[in-house]
């Protein structure tokens, strides 16, 4: 029943959003075939064939009501070759139409790629918990360098920490769009680590591979590389020599620096538009400065340090030019260590965008970064922001959708995609994105207001917004000032 209801109530996706190279007139033909109102669809296969013929001749397309059978037979007899060609085009249009409905109205998760879940910390001392998070992060970073492999972002997998009740791997695979997950545990005993890793097929909930590693603390980086290479081998992924070297390279040789970096990254991941955002970022900056003080060649720490400094500036926590200068200093250090790295170019792109509103310069840096960071959602997210600022809404939406494919549980990115759909007046798609966001944070007031506004924008129905504001006034009066603009909109409507 759900596919039928969605088919009746939602619009098919614009073909040009899937591929901007599709001709606009051919897009019009496809969408006319999919009209829900029979009066607006083609009245016959002949009318469709005539528009396809006009499209081939680059003439304006417009279906006309004619004497169908008589004209149809004569046209086929006069043009047997064209009739065969147009029959093929009609079939292609039908397949394209079904694909549009099937991918947009009945969305299916892409069951490819791997998600590296948080490793379980089996050590009683919380001070040693960073080993579990650090191993997970480094494994994910190494695997994400492989172009032939889809790797889910860390932000989306962090909610799947191991629990006493166990985890439903099939459900996790569906939620993340991943065919496999890498899970494991870490136990520290004095100066030794016991690491367990297992690769699981989420479609069958079966173990593909499992192995245990014992090493001293300094051997942890070699173990991380060994696990990453083994996972790639088990998934039958082809990778280049450069990608193999990247997986074998340790992030640092200094465990103290590694600990500071891991703690800082966890803080940055938790940062958003919330009261603790400034404190988290300032603490992360302090930890990253400690990391590079202990290891001046810690490349990833410099990149994350630049990111944290840029966020402090962009979020308005510190708008001093000195903050941007600190970010630039970290970027220069990263380029000195690895001049051709995608991470350094991405850091430069973010600095140009967030600090200087240099869209052209930022976009050029993003394009360089994209060549070696195929699984970094920030590459596509940043590109989406830039294109949206430049007024290229369809291109921005494509970039955001690629970002959410790699980071499907990113609440903020889902909100941004919904905003892009709103700008394009694709209200059915906007509603779907907001529902996905609310599934992650059901109580988020801003998202609930945005969802109610969809009904006003789409169907001129102010009742959902009216009821929601009444509910907020009655149950959460402290939130009223945050929804005052929506309240005014509702009153005006």
How do residues 157-213 score in pLDDT, each as one tens digit?
Answer: 998 988 756 788 999 999 999 999 999 999 998 889 999 999 999 999 999 999 999
pTM summary value: 0.75
Tokens of 109: 């998760």
Q: Consecutive 10-residue runs of the chain (493 residues): their mean pLDDT?
A: 50 64 75 77 80 72 45 54 58 54 44 86 81 92 93 92 79 93 92 94 93 92 94 90 90 95 92 75 97 98 98 93 96 97 97 96 97 95 96 94 94 94 94 95 94 96 96 92 92 91
The pair of structure tokens assigned to 288 is 């990253």
For residue 68, the model assigns a pLDDT of 42
CATH number of the structural domain 252-373: 1.25.40.10
Per-chain mean pLDDT for the chain = 86
Tens-place pLDDT, residues 233-275: 999 988 888 888 988 999 999 999 999 999 999 999 887 656 6
The reported pLDDT for the residue numbered 275 is 63
Angle between helices 321-337 and 342-356 (to 10 degrees): 170
The rounded distance, in Å, linking the Cα atoms of 355 and 310 is 7
Among 3.40.50.10610, 3.40.50.2300, 3.40.50.150, 2.40.160.50, what is the CATH number of 114-250? 3.40.50.10610
Other beta carbons within 10 Å of 321 = 9
Domain boundaries, the chain: 2-104, 114-250, 252-373
The pairing of beta strand 206-216 with beta strand 192-201: antiparallel
């Amino acid at each position: 029943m759900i596919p039928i209801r969605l088919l009746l109530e939602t619009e098919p996706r614009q073909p040009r959003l899937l591929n901007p190279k599709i001709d606009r007139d051919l897009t019009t033909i496809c969408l006319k075939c999919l009209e829900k109102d029979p009066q607006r669809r083609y009245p016959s296969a002949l009318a469709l064939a005539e528009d396809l013929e006009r499209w081939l001749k680059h003439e304006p397309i417009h279906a006309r009501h004619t004497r169908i059978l008589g004209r149809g037979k004569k046209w086929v007899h006069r043009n047997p070759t064209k009739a065969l060609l147009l029959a093929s085009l009609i079939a292609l249009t039908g397949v394209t139409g079904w694909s549009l409905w099937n991918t947009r109205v009945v969305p299916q998760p892409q069951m490819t790629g791997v998600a590296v879940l948080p490793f379980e910390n089996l050590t009683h001392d919380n001070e040693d918990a960073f080993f579990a998070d650090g191993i997970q992060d480094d494994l994910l970073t190494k695997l994400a360098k492989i172009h032939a492999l889809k790797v889910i972002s860390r932000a989306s997998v962090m909610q799947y920490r191991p629990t006493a009740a166990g985890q439903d791997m099939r459900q996790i695979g569906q939620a993340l769009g991943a065919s496999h997950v890498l899970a494991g545990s870490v136990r520290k005993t004095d100066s030794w680590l016991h690491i367990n890793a297992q690769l699981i097929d989420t479609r069958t909930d079966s173990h593909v591979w499992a192995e245990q590693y014992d090493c001293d603390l300094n051997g942890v980086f070699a173990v991380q590389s060994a696990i990453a290479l083994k996972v790639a081998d088990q998934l039958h992924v082809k990778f280049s020599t450069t990608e193999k070297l990247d997986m074998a390279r340790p992030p640092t040789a200094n465990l103290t620096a590694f600990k500071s970096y891991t703690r800082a990254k966890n803080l940055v991941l938790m940062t958003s538009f919330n009261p603790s955002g400034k404190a988290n970022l300032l603490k992360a900056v302090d930890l990253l400065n400690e990391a590079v003080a202990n290891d001046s060649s810690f490349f990833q720490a410099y990149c994350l340090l630049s990111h944290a400094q840029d966020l402090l500036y962009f979020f308005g926590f510190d708008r001093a030019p000195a903050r941007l200068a600190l970010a630039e200093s970290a970027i220069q250090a990263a380029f000195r260590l690895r001049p051709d790295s995608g991470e350094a170019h991405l850091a430069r792109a973010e600095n140009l965008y967030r600090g200087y509103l240099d869209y052209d310069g930022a976009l050029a840096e993003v394009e360089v970064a994209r060549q070696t960071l195929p699984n970094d959602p920030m590459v596509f997210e940043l590109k989406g922001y830039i294109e949206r600022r430049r007024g290229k809404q369809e291109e921005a939406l494509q970039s955001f959708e690629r970002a959410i494919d790699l980071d499907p549980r990113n609440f903020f990115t889902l909100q941004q995609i919904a905003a892009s759909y709103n700008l394009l007046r694709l209200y059915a798609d906007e509603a779907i994105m907001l529902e996905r966001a609310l599934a992650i944070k059901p109580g988020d007031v801003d998202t609930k207001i945005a969802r109610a506004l969809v009904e006003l924008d789409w169907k001129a129905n102010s009742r959902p917004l009216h009821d929601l504001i009444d509910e907020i006034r009655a149950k959460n009066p402290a939130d009223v000032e945050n929804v005052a603009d929506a309240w005014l909109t509702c009153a005006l409507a």
